[in-house]
Amino acid sequence: MPKKIIVIGANHAGTAALNTILDNYKDVDVTAFDANSNISFLGCGMALWIGGQISGPDGLFYSSKEILEGKGAKIYMETSVNSVDFDSKVVYTKDAAGKDCEYPYDKLILATGSTPVGPQLPGMSLENVQFVKLYQNAAEVIEKLGDTSIKKVAVVGAGYIGVELAEAFQRNGREVTLIDCADTCLSAYYDDMFCKRMEKQLSDHGIHLAFEEKVERLEGNEKVEKVVTDKHTYDADMVIFCVGFRPNTKLGNGQLKQFHNNGAYLTDLMQQTSRPDVYAVGDCATVYNNAIEDTDYIALATNAVRSGIIAAHNACGTELKSPGVQGSNGISIWGLNMVSTGLSLERAKKLGFDAAATDYEDWQKAGFMEKDNYKVVIRIVYDKKTRRILGAQLCSDYDISMAIHLFSMAIQEKVTIDKLKLFDLFFLPHFNQPYNYITMAALNAE
């Protein structure tokens, strides 16, 4: 059992690692440092807060320095780790008062997360140009929205954050333009037929869509006033950039092996980096993606939590391997629910799979169920050669979210589309149909 474990970063991944150590290994001396002043902010609540769907941010935290210290950890907030000597196993910190300290470790868990990508464009330093990641970012945006002269908001990036925030600002009474260089929204997660449904939902609710447009500059006089793209100019009193995350790897650059795509720390199934006593978890680390059967980068709180648990057990001497991930995700915009896992057909083909898709559309419940019955669209993506299921997407006004877990497990366990054809699914008219759309989609596969 190691004597001293240090965790750098105490948000979702770090907190999961800390809780796992504190709950399971009583004799370990565990210390964490975080540059921020709060722990465990659920960014997913930011849009709900801005859109007034929840009354405030209090419920968006599930841990704190006090809770973790009550369980026996030493937690240093507003303390940055500036460097790590991986050979002598020492971390060097600076606290809010500017005091430098050093701490030795036996095992180190890097949970330094990610930062929003900030395009280098003219006008980025104008007032009311915002990024959204931390609690402080959300609080600042909410405070600024108190200014009623902020009428028009441009959201750049129509991925998960952008689409959720577009709804939130519109609910908040603002005019919203949603800009993306891709030709639709959510294109990293869904095929076009699903993206188009979300496009319609957004434009039906008054969001102005500006796709296939590249932002060239922001203009204004102190405060931002305009977003200029390669095609149009949009008036904007606030501009939010959400064009993806980049892993925070300053501490290990050149010291630990990194992912060729974006520099995330390369980890094995035990979250171990290229140095045996150093683990990396959450948004700063790679995952093993079962759909592509290879290393990947997928920044999600779910992956952060699971990888934190895995690293903690391994660091404490209990071998635990990740089963890999599928990047399962979901979104709900004005009641339109979409969930996906694994690969879209487009991405599968781009990656070189001989992929096909089987689609099906039906009512969720038996036809005689007159209330709360909604249409559901499903697509299952599979490899024509191996027959392995590579991905699935579902879309409905009904809450179909639980169905995606079946496909996540199917991808993890390398289930073929043929195995799914006669898979035992229950029927009860309150919930579904005897000819279930999952069965029907699978039966229709070529």
Strand 278-280 relative to strand 107-110, pairing? parallel
The size of the interface with ligand FAD (CB under 6 A), counted in residues, is 31
| SS3 at position 201 | helix
- H or E element that contains 50: helix 45-50
Q: What token pair was written down for 124?
A: 């980025």
Catalytic residue of the set 12, 185, 195, 395: 12
Q: How far apart are CA 114 and CA 390, in angstroms?
A: 27
- The contact pattern for ligand FAD, residues 312-351, with x = CB under 6 A and - = no contact, is ----------------------------------------
Binding range to ligand FAD, per CB under 6 A, among 110-118, 151-159, 201-209, 387-395: 110-118
195 is known as an active-site residue: no
Task: Tell me the torsion sign for CA atoms 255, 259, 263, 268.
Answer: negative
Q: Indicate which of ligand FAD, ligand NAI, none lies near residue 51 (CB less than 5 to 8 Å, by partner kind).
A: none
Phi-psi region of 218 (alpha: psi -120 to 50; beta: other; left: phi over 0): beta
Task: Tell me how far, at minimum, the Cβ of 289 lies from ligand NAI, in Å.
Answer: 13
Task: Tell me how far, at minimum, the Cβ of 16 lies from ligand NAI, in Å.
Answer: 17
**Contacts to ligand FAD from residues 196-235, by CB under 6 A:** none
- The contact pattern for ligand FAD, residues 13-32, with x = CB under 6 A and - = no contact, is xx------------------
Q: Indicate which of ligand FAD, ligand NAI, none lies near residue 318 (CB less than 5 to 8 Å, by partner kind).
A: none
Which of 80, 249, 273, 322 is the binder for ligand FAD (CB under 6 A)? 80
Residues of this chain that bind ligand NAI (CB under 6 A): 44, 119, 156-162, 164, 179-182, 187-188, 215, 242-245, 299-300, 329-331
Q: Indicate which of ligand NAI, ligand FAD, none lies near residue 331 (CB less than 5 to 8 Å, by partner kind).
A: ligand NAI
Contact 81/8 with Cβ under 8 angstroms?
yes
Which of 18, 109, 161, 312 is the binder for ligand FAD (CB under 6 A)? 161
> Among residues 80 and 272, whose Cβ is nearest to ligand FAD?
80
Separation in Å, CA 76 to CA 34, 70, 81: 6, 14, 10
* 228 exposure class (CB count in 10 Å sphere: 0-12, 13-18, 19+): middle
Task: Tell me how far, at minimum, the Cβ of 163 lies from ligand NAI, in Å.
Answer: 8
Task: Tell me how far, at minimum, the Cβ of 326 lies from ligand NAI, in Å.
Answer: 13
Q: Indicate which of ligand NAI, ligand FAD, none lies near residue 72 (CB less than 5 to 8 Å, by partner kind).
A: none
Q: Which residue has the tokens 């095929």?
A: 191
Q: How many C-beta atoms lie closer than 10 Å to residue 301's C-beta?
A: 17
Answer yes or no whether residue 271 interacts with ligand FAD by CB under 6 A. no
Q: How far apart are CA 18 and CA 76, in angstroms?
A: 13
Q: Give me Rg for the CA atoms of the chain.
A: 23
> Among residues 81 and 153, whose Cβ is nearest to ligand FAD?
81
Of residues 230, 244, 215, the one with CA closest to residue 123: 215
> Among residues 12 and 275, whose Cβ is nearest to ligand FAD?
12
For 356-374, b/e burial (b = at least 16 CB within 10 A) is: bbbbbebbbbbeeeeeebe
For 305-340, b/e burial (b = at least 16 CB within 10 A) is: bbbbbbbbbbbbeeeeebebbbbbbbbebeebbbbb
Answer yes or no whether residue 33 interacts with ligand FAD by CB under 6 A. yes
The residues, any chain, with a CB within 8 Å of residue 394's CB and separated by 6 or more, are 337, 338, 339, 340, 376, 377, 378, 379, 400, 403, 404
- The contact pattern for ligand FAD, residues 230-269, with x = CB under 6 A and - = no contact, is ------------------x--x------------------
> Among residues 2 and 9, whose Cβ is nearest to ligand FAD?
9
Task: Tell me how far, at minimum, the Cβ of 57 lies from ligand FAD, in Å.
Answer: 12
Answer yes or no whether residue 159 interacts with ligand FAD by CB under 6 A. no
44 is known as an active-site residue: yes
> Among residues 384 and 405, whose Cβ is nearest to ligand FAD?
405
Phi-psi region of 26 (alpha: psi -120 to 50; beta: other; left: phi over 0): alpha
> Among residues 309 and 357, whose Cβ is nearest to ligand FAD?
309
- H or E element that contains 394: strand 389-396
Active site residues: 12, 44
Q: Which residues bind ligand FAD (CB under 6 A)?
A: 8-9, 11-14, 33-36, 43-44, 46, 80-81, 111-114, 132-133, 161, 248, 251, 282-283, 299-302, 304
